[in-house]
Amino acid sequence: MHIRPVTRLPDEQHPPLGPHTDAIIKAFESRDWIFLDCHDANTAFFTYRGSFGWIDFERKAYTPSDIDLATLDCLVIRDRKTFLAEVTTCGVTKGCSHHRSMTVRFPFDGLVLPDQLDEHETQARDIDTAEVAQCLLFRECSEAVCRG
């Protein structure tokens, strides 16, 4: 999966997130997220540029998923008048529970992005890549690494 921004929505007549589409995309982009795709008529997918301390995976030989990493991603789902943010946290897909990526969900109104994104963005930017590398190599980290 190469990360590349989408320059226009697939169907501008019927935007995926209803009348809030442009506002949601601008809100994510203002926070250094990249709008990647619309999976269907009610979703939009974003990835966070700051994952793993701003590593530019476009210039790497492997994508994060190729090496068992998960970037901070968000799938925005519209369900009539409400929205759900399904966030995959930055971390490893195989490894210890301390570094493992997880999926969290929270509702929001479509006008203001959820406050919970702040915490996940900070974690993605500040993740200790040396610890993550050790976790990827050994799958179970030593107690010293996980507890600092």
**Strand, coil or helix: what is 47?**
strand
- What mean pLDDT is reported for the chain? 79
1 pLDDT above the threshold of 50: no
Q: Backbone phi, then psi, for 56, in 5-degree steps?
A: -90, 95
Query: 10 Å Cβ neighbour count for 110?
Result: 19
pTM to 2 decimals?
A: 0.80
Confidence of residue 140 (pLDDT cuts 50, 70, 90): low
Q: What angle do CA 56, 75, 20 make, to 5 degrees?
A: 110
Q: How far is Cα 48 from Cα 50, in angstroms, rounded to an integer?
A: 6
Query: 10 Å Cβ neighbour count for 139?
Result: 12
Query: Could you read off the pLDDT of 30-70 as tens digits, one per residue?
Result: 999 999 887 677 888 999 999 988 777 666 666 777 778 99
**Strand, coil or helix: what is 77?**
strand
pLDDT number for residue 8: 43
Highest mean pLDDT among 52-66, 80-94, 132-146: 80-94
Task: Write out the H or E segment, with its range, that includes residue 86.
Answer: strand 82-88
Query: Could you read off the pLDDT of 35-46 as tens digits, one per residue?
Result: 988 767 788 899
Domain boundaries, the chain: 18-147
Distances (CA, A) of 140 to 91, 99, 135: 14, 9, 6
Amino acid in the structure at residue 104: V
Q: How far is Cα 18 from Cα 104, in angstroms, rounded to an integer?
A: 23
